[in-house]
Structure 1
Amino acid sequence: MTTTETPLGEFLRARRAGVRPQDVGMPSHGVRRVPGLRREEVAVLAGVNADYYTRLEQGRERHPSAQVTEGIGRALRLDADARAHLSRLAGTVPGVPRARAAYQVPPALRQLLDSHRSAAAFVIDRTLDVLAANDLAVALHSPFERMDNLARMVFLDPAARRFYTRWDATAEATAGHLRQAAGLDPDAGRLRELVSALCGHSTDFGRLWNNHVVTGKTQGTKHFLHPDAGPLTLTYLAFDIRDAPDGQQLIVYQADPDSPSAEALALLRTGGL
């Protein structure tokens, strides 16, 4: 029997290990040699042949149907982001074309960034490289050595654990964003380079990366501690940029009107701290 490592197989094994029998209403008898569900149990829950599911994990089968991936997604209790990631790994959704040339943020988009005077706004690509930022976003992230890649900043910059007051949640979400990117474009050289560097210098990233958690960036709340502005509670929104390659998004951080965080952002913007 030949076993070949595949992104699909790695993902299935990692997520299977995170689901306990009691999570899905299955009895657990005797000593279990593996964490989480057995392959046979996943197959039963997904409604597929156990040998076929085993071949998927071992890389001997790589292209399950949409119906099979949906069944496996339910069996492994995957959320929407993780199910979409599974479908991409299985090839049941259209691939994303790779950019043929370096992309420059157009002047109109830079003007839009600068128009957000009371909000910190910046543009990232799928690998979390920061492509452009307005002055307030730069001021907000001034504790870092440089504002170049959000993942590098979270895992490798010493300022991160103080700046992100909920660092553990931020770190898990950041690794999840990159895992989603791997499903969208598994052959991306920039992503491979970044993941290799992070794994080589951060055991925390390596652990989270191997958990295969998938997270999309849409909206939420962030908590920061800026050395000059103090504690900040900001909401963020992520907007997909149409016609731009590499899954680019406009990220906007803003504070509730008349809140202490809004006052702190205003002082950051004017340099009055």
Structure 2
Amino acid sequence: MNGVDGMDGIGGGMGGMNDGPGRLGAFLQARRSRLRPDDIGLKTYGERRRVPGLRREELALLAGVSASYYTRLEQGQSHNASPEILDALARALGLDESERRHVHDLAASGARGHKGLRRPPEEHLSDATRHLLDALTDVPAVVLGRRTDVLGWNALGHALFAAHLPADGPDHAPRRPNMATLVFLDPDTRALYADWETKARTVVANLREVAGRHPDDARLASLIGELTMRSAEFGAMWADHQVRPCDATPHTMDHPLIGAVTLTQQALRTADDQTVVVAHTAPGSASRAALTLLADLLADRADLLADRNAPVRPKS
């Protein structure tokens, strides 16, 4: 279910982690094409444009660089952009802080040169994160690795996000669920989200951010390549070049046991580049009552299983 093994070379060839002449150039071109002259107060006097967005020379002028230099940068022919130039381009494009950091990550990767993908070591749940997960008994919680592999979840997290999957799935690396794969390829997970597209775009934007920080991760490239091949929706969203690390995102879920529940999925990054996703609801809300009901259902099921497994005492 994790969708990463055996496909290490796909990310570059399928529009994955390596895009055309250069990942930085592809990102700049995508953002330039979405910035209209009106957005920056540029007068066009009704002229017809062959392509949407700003022209290269217009963006270069805004950033204070020469048009020829910017053209080389966008075409992947220059890999020596200074931090000051990158910041100027980010300002000209109206990028937020996450996107600005992404530009610097892409530039650093281009400056180092492409050294090929490498298979990183298998991720494991650290003792500290496991203890944190054990302590989170009253809220749904899931621990995701760098590539959104599920490294662990508590009982409520499993019941909320993936009750249709084996509870011990994260304990076995070869068959760990992968949240990005579930969102795009698993019908049960897709049906959970009332606004599936918003959830899906959040997943893709997070993968873009991670790919910028880890351009040589073969497992990540493989995951992106597989999703690109198997989901046209993923491919279209990946081509948008949206960048956003996981933070706090509200979602309405349509759960098969407790019905509609509105909650915030709060992502907390650990020191070892893992993410603890905690789902919380507003105090006193109907959604808080629904999560309490889910916890009660789990407790009742645990009691039932305990009764079934209890040894039979002989009659006196």
CA separation of 1:30 and 1:50: change in aligned 2, threshold 3 A: same
Q: Determine the structure 2 residue equivalent to 1:168.
A: 197
Q: TM-score, normalised by structure 1?
A: 0.90
SS of the aligned residue for 2:253 comes to strand
Matched with 1:223 is: 252
CA distance in 2, matches of 1:142, 1:240: 21
Partner of 1:266: 292
Q: How many residue pairs were aligned? A: 265
| Cα displacement (A) at 1:142 | 3.0
- Superposed counterparts of 1:189-208, under 5 Å: 189-208=218-237
Q: Distance in 2 between matches of 1:63 and 1:73?
A: 16
> Larger relative contact order (C-alpha < 8 A, sep ≥ 6)?
2
Deviation at residue 101 of structure 1 after TM alignment: 3.4
Equivalent residue letter for 1:124: L
CA distance in 2, matches of 1:261, 1:53: 51
Encode CA deviations 1:128-177: one digit per residue, 9 max, x unaligned. 11111111000002355577112111111112442111111111111100
Paired position in structure 2 for 1:255: 281
Distance 1:100 1:199 in 2: 21
Residue 131 of structure 1 is matched in structure 2 by: 151
Paired-residue identity, %:
40
CA distance in 2, matches of 1:204, 1:63: 34
Q: 1: distance between equivalents of 2:50 and 2:94? A: 21
SS at match of 1:34: coil
The aligned residue for residue 61 of structure 1 is: 78
Give TM-score scaled by structure 2 length: 0.78
Q: Give the superposed CA RMSD.
A: 2.3
Instruction: Decide whether the 8 Å contact of 1:221 with 1:236 is kept in 2.
Output: yes
| Structure 2 stretches lacking a partner, 5+ long | 1-19, 113-117, 167-175, 302-316
1:8 paired residue number: 24
Instruction: Find runs of 4+ consecutive structure 1 residues off by over 6 angstroms.
Output: none
Does the residue aligned with 1:159 lie in a helix, a strand or coil?
helix
Please give the per-residue CA displacement for 1:80-125, whole angstroms capped at 9, x wherever unaligned.
Answer: 1111100111129xx9xx9963332133422321221221111112
Mapped to 2, the partners of 1:254 and 1:40 lie a distance apart of 47
Contact kept in structure 2, 1:239 and 1:249, CA below 8 Å? yes
1:76 Cα deviation after fit: 1.1
**Secondary structure in 1 aligned to 2:249?**
strand
The SS at the match of 1:103 is coil
Q: Which residue identity lines up with residue 108 of structure 2 in the other structure?
A: G
Aligned to 1:91, the other structure's residue is in SS state: helix
Q: 1:234 is paired with a residue of what secondary structure?
A: strand
SS at match of 1:62: coil
Instruction: Determine the structure 2 residue equivalent to 1:122.
Output: 142
Q: Highest CA radius of gyration, 1 or 2?
A: 2
